[in-house]
Structure 1
Amino acid sequence: MAGHSKWANIKRRKGAQDAKRGKIFTKLIKEITVSAKEGGADPDGNPRLRLAIQNAKGANMPKDTIERAVSKGSGADGDDYQEVTYEGYAPHGVAVFLECTTDNLNRTVANVRATFTKHGGSLSKNGSVEYLFDRKGVFLFPHPERMSEDELMLELIDGGAEDVAYEEGLVQVTSAMEDFGSLQSKLDALSIEPENAELQRIPTTSVTLDDEALLSVMKLIDVLEDDDDVAKVYHNADVTEEQVELL
């Protein structure tokens, strides 16, 4: 779930990961498999695989599970996954953007369309909501005790950070998409290993909802996130700190 409220997203996502560990692992394994198939099994020469493994470690995936996923992706008999995006609207005019990884396009689009329809939304054509999101690099990691906030911020800005936010011992850093690699290199130089690092779609405009409307939207989002073929779900609902408690 990626909407408008920065820290609401972090807290809710971490809770959702804990509650849906098996689903999270399924999606991470797919990403590792696809990355290894496209760029090879060596993380040092395959930045996408390196990032996928890093995120898997951040989710506490066992080492042998990671290694099996890499082996499967780099082998000749690896699954033939395709990456595809879908766009649509949830109830109350909330824009939704999906990134999917699938071995069966017909199954995936049928499931996605049925989920939108069942929960009061609608699947739209490509380009209908993509313009409402900016693609950004987002890194999340514990604040390193050896550095002050000011020292860390200066280093991160030097690495290409656009925004640095602190809360409850966590640091969230946002960069332009083209600075993702340089910021990742800066974190490596600082010996900081993110709990999560990825390219996200950040909404440029948001939709404010009352509690009842938000719950109806989040029902759709939750069902989409439960689909094994759906890797990431982005939306532009503005979730307040108070509303996080409802979720």
Structure 2
Amino acid sequence: MSGHSKWSTIKRKKGAADAKRGKIFSRFSKEITVAVKEGGSGDPEGNPRLRMAIQNAKGVNMPKDNIERAIKKGTGGDASSYIEQTFEGYGPFGIAVFVECLTDNQNRTVQEVRAAYSKYEGNMGTNGSLEFIFDRKGVFTLPVSDGMDLEEFELEVIDGGADDVVIEDDYITVTCALEDFGNLNKKFEELNIEPENAELQRIPNNTKKLNDEEFQKVMKLIDVLEDNDDVQQVWHNLEVGDGQENLLS
């Protein structure tokens, strides 16, 4: 078992910190609303994107009422104003930073994202400029359950399209190619296993390690971007060194 173990673990722990601030609930509400609109249905059984969004929302303990409100928004047409936008650029010390947004005001989002890059010593580039750094992959995470046959599980998910399985800190991270994401999702359904999180992620194919002072400088940019209401995800290739996990909060 190999691969993006360290990076995946940090993203998961950072995600847990985001949940404490409540930001992640807003993110999933928006994703659910857009999933309803794009899938043309508020029924998760017939809408795979919605099913995945609800599953991820439950994984961060989002209240049922919040989920139902987000679905209602989508069926009521409120999602029509959301537009997907992405921004690519570099933070301090050459760290690649890729930003995904859902916004109802493109001009506002462009101005705020550009201002964040500029204020924290970064530079916003053109779309496609980071294509060689990130690979789009499907990533599923779930806790190791009691009595789980890990060897059998690994064989099953590899059969379903997984190309990497990592077990660390009692968590399993399963990674697959973009084109195998749907098949692997079906495999989990066949196994009656509901991952805590399932999403398409931008995985860096090279990472950079910085000293603590430099690390904190980059994290200021990432935190400001993640706190923006229009931002859904921030991907980067900053490697978290030993002891730097404590600097994430």
Q: TM-score of the superposition, structure 1-length normalised? A: 0.94
2:197 is matched with which residue? 196
Q: Do the aligned partners of 2:5 and 2:166 also contact (CA within 8 Å) in 1?
A: no
After TM superposition, give the deviation of residue 3 of structure 1 in Å.
11
1:23 and 2:23 are equivalent in the alignment: yes
Q: Do the aligned partners of 2:209 and 2:241 also contact (CA within 8 Å) in 1?
A: no
Which segments of 5 or more consecutive residues in structure 1 lack a partner in the other structure? none
Q: Do the aligned partners of 1:142 and 1:170 also contact (CA within 8 Å) in 2?
A: yes
1:5 is paired with a residue of what secondary structure? helix
2:146 is paired with a residue of what secondary structure? coil
After TM superposition, give the deviation of residue 158 of structure 1 in Å.
0.8
Q: 1:244 to 1:16 in 2, by over 3 A?
A: same
After TM superposition, give the deviation of residue 246 of structure 1 in Å.
2.2
1:9 and 2:11 are equivalent in the alignment: yes
Q: Do the aligned partners of 2:91 and 2:117 also contact (CA within 8 Å) in 1?
A: yes
2:38 is matched with which residue? 38
Partner AA of 1:207 in structure 2: K
| Distance of 2:228 and 2:5 partners within structure 1 | 19
2:220 is paired with a residue of what secondary structure? helix
Q: After superposing the two structures, state which structure 1 stretch, 100-109 or 50-59, moved more.
A: 50-59
| Distance of 2:87 and 2:19 partners within structure 1 | 23
Q: 1:197 to 1:208 in 2, by over 3 A?
A: same
1:182 is matched with which residue? 183
Taking the TM superposition and a 5 Å limit, the aligned residue runs for 1:26-175 are 26-39=26-39, 40-175=41-176
Q: Do the aligned partners of 2:98 and 2:236 also contact (CA within 8 Å) in 1?
A: yes
Q: Do the aligned partners of 2:96 and 2:237 also contact (CA within 8 Å) in 1?
A: yes
| Distance of 2:79 and 2:7 partners within structure 1 | 38
Q: Do the aligned partners of 1:87 and 1:130 also contact (CA within 8 Å) in 2?
A: no
Q: TM-score of the superposition, structure 2-length normalised? A: 0.93
1:146 is paired with a residue of what secondary structure? coil
Q: Do the aligned partners of 2:89 and 2:96 also contact (CA within 8 Å) in 1?
A: yes
Q: Do the aligned partners of 2:37 and 2:80 also contact (CA within 8 Å) in 1?
A: no
After TM superposition, give the deviation of residue 132 of structure 1 in Å.
0.9
| Distance of 2:234 and 2:149 partners within structure 1 | 34
Q: Do the aligned partners of 2:37 and 2:74 also contact (CA within 8 Å) in 1?
A: yes
1:131 is paired with a residue of what secondary structure? coil
Q: 1:78 to 1:128 in 2, by over 3 A?
A: closer
| Distance of 2:138 and 2:230 partners within structure 1 | 23
After superposition, what is the alpha-carbon deviation per residue over 1:170-191, rounded to whole angstroms, capped at 9, x for unaligned? Answer: 1111111111111111111111
Partner AA of 2:12 in structure 1: I
| Distance of 1:51 and 1:41 partners within structure 2 | 13
Taking the TM superposition and a 5 Å limit, the aligned residue runs for 1:194-233 are 194-233=195-234
Q: 1:78 to 1:125 in 2, by over 3 A?
A: closer
CA RMSD of aligned residues (A): 1.7
Structure ranking higher on relative contact order (CA contacts 8 Å, 6+ apart): 1
Q: Do the aligned partners of 1:3 and 1:9 also contact (CA within 8 Å) in 2?
A: no
Which segments of 5 or more consecutive residues in structure 2 lack a partner in the other structure? none
| Distance of 2:184 and 2:5 partners within structure 1 | 23
After TM superposition, give the deviation of residue 32 of structure 1 in Å.
0.5
